[in-house]
Amino acid sequence: MGKGRLEKYTLIITEKPDAANRIATALDEEGKPKKTVANGVPYYQAYRDGCIVVVPALGHLYTITSKQKGRGYPIFDYQWVPRYKAERGASRIRVWLKVISQLAKDSDGFVDACDYDIEGSIIGYSILKYACDGKDTSAKRMKYSTLTKEELLESYSRLLPTLDFAQIQAGLTRHEIDWLYGINLSRALTQAVQNNSGQYATLSTGRVQGPTLKFLDAREKTINCFVPTPYWTLTAKINVNGTTVEVEYEKPLENKAQVAAVKAACKVKEGKIETVDVKEFLQSPPVPFDLGSLQSEAYRIFKITPMKTSSIAQRLYLDALISYPRTSSQKLPPSIGYQNILKKLGKTLAYAKQTRELLSKSSLKPNEGKKYDPAHPAIYPTGNLPEKLLDASERNIFDLVVKRFLAVFGEPAVLQGITVTVNINDNPFHMNATRTLMEGWLKFYQPYVQLKNASLPMLTKGQPVGVEKVTLNSHFTQPPARYNPRSLLMKMEKEEIGTKATRAATIQTLYDRKYLCGTTNLSVSELGFEVIEVLSKYCPTVVSPEFTRKLEGEMDQIQQGTQTKENVLQNAVETLKLVTSELKDNEAAVGAQLSQLIQKTRLQERTVGACTKCGDGKLVVLRSKKTGKRFVGCTNFFEGKCNAAFPLPQTGTVKPLSADCKSCGSPVVAVYLRGRRPWKLCLNPACPSKGERKK
């Protein structure tokens, strides 16, 4: 496809190299496209009713940057530029765009085959508009939900006549508003600290970060202010026909005198069964996965974070194992071919039995949820089996998607609920139990759901029972649980802030900015508390879920054609002008409040432990002004009281550890070297463990 070649071709733009390879292979009549690498940029030549060239992007090749120089704020003038002009380390993008532009010159037709969602639409649109000299107005669009050969061929044979401009306008609006809020608010915080202390600290917030941190802040304050109150429960062990079962007093008791009276009254040897209520009920199959529910379920079962689940699902999609994961749909249309997918999955022993059972049904109808996404169906397996070895996390997510797909076609499970009331000297105790009578869909979703098979003796109304023991249990009321990555994701979804594709990344950013602590139970750091306090005091709008929810709704309206990008941007900018003005006016107070805590946080991060020499100083990581080398020294050195010092490795990242050395009790640090596992270093040169290693 070199310069000067007479033959023209259709140029297809994809989002990533893996997708380009699959699309070219699917479209080529022989399934063997020719791969060419130009200056490190791969592209593929295929033939189907004419010549085709498929070239990938590397995700976003264009980004937003300020038109004005310097690091001041507020900023309202911006432009879209190639990433290499705005980001360090993006020089590769220059070559990439040059190759795409050269390929565009010899093309007489253009197709956007990036993922059919907001991000993919912006990627394809930007390349066609800027790198391909305005071909966004004449390009056609491929729309597909899997990278299987069959669907790609179908998509190419039915190209959409134009790009999805409503989705593009919504996406551009989202990016531009997020950039405007992110850069202005982040610069306001950072500049306030720098002007106050003379030190630079990376602080950030935004229209989604702020409300998310506010949720965590509110929960943390509720927990900290919670005052536990005592209460008591009574349990009784009763004997029914030789079998001991446990029953519980009908309600918790909050009065100690009442507790004593009930326990005393229950010191009898016999009671009787008052009622036995048996009910059967149906438990419907689950609905298909959208991205949020997949992330939630992956965390519940495997403790895989939402961000990692999204990344794994994207890899499985690029390997043509599952459908496009960034969807909010809970619908599975018949057009995906239920039977064909089940037949292909049944070729592996792991799913053969379940698929045979489903295929024997007279009809296949999935249990669908309410949520609908016009771009893509719910997440489902394509039926393709892995061509390469998957790692443990990939295997888990793939199996979860397959099992969920099987389960939605199952019959409702039939369960039996049993409620028993026992009278012990006129005091009511009760017991609840559940049995699975018919597994239905449950058999297809194991081991991710457990069958309930309570074992109970025969129970009849009026039946006498022996009272073996009555136990008093004391408790205290508990505060609400801290958010974990799963429950925080669900909270964001419920409050309608962020999107299915950005919520996990927002949580990760809060970690990166050190606003959060913990991995399972998320708590707000001191820095996080201060940042949210400043924002709540001086610009409460930007931490308000209502404001962010309103903007999300307006961007949805753009996509539906009932609102314009210009109106939404203008309203958002007017609000932002008020916010930045307020922060400017209070810059000194904001800087003073945040600077003190940042200095304290930095000291805590460098603190290794108590000084073993002087006893009242702290050992911290320092750097010599003369040599530039880092070492651990005592804080009392600056007051002339202690000269304790310990050498450190000069390469890698050093992080203090809370635990002391098991051999000598001295402080320990962890040393992280790129490409190697971290190792623990005891600061004591005479530590016995070091002598043992030398031997």
Residues annotated catalytic, as ranges: 324
Cα–Cα distances in Å, from 673 out to 72, 513, 624, 636, 661? 36, 22, 22, 30, 21
CA-CA distance, 348 to 602, in Å (whole number)? Answer: 54
Contact 270, 463 (CB under 8 A): no
Can you tell me whether residue 267 is helix, strand or coil? Answer: coil
60 Cβ contact partners less than 8 Å away, ≥ 6 residues apart: 83, 119, 122, 123, 126
Please give the backbone phi and psi of residue 190, each rounded to the nearest 5 degrees, phi first: -65, -45
Tokens (6 digits) for 628: 């530039």
CA-CA distance, 61 to 100, in Å (whole number)? Answer: 11
CA-CA distance, 416 to 432, in Å (whole number)? Answer: 11
**SS3 readout for 386-407:** CCCCCCHHHHHHHHHHHHHHHH
**Helices 545-560 and 209-225, interaxial angle, to 10°?**
150
CA-CA distance, 314 to 291, in Å (whole number)? Answer: 11
CA-CA distance, 196 to 201, in Å (whole number)? Answer: 11
Can you tell me whether residue 82 is helix, strand or coil? Answer: strand
**Helices 526-538 and 209-225, interaxial angle, to 10°?**
110
Q: How many helices (DSSP H) and strands (DSSP E) are in the chain?
A: 20, 23
Half-sphere exposure of 451 (CA within 13 A, CB side): 15
CA-CA distance, 535 to 527, in Å (whole number)? Answer: 12
Can you tell me whether residue 672 is helix, strand or coil? Answer: strand
DSSP annotation of 39 reads T
CA-CA distance, 246 to 239, in Å (whole number)? Answer: 9
Burial (CB < 10 A; 0-12, 13-18, 19+), residue 137, is exposed
Half-sphere exposure of 275 (CA within 13 A, CB side): 11
CA-CA distance, 124 to 114, in Å (whole number)? Answer: 6
DSSP annotation of 460 reads -
E strands in 167-241: 230-240
Contact 209, 520 (CB under 8 A): no
Nearest to 318 by CA among 387, 399, 246, 228: 387
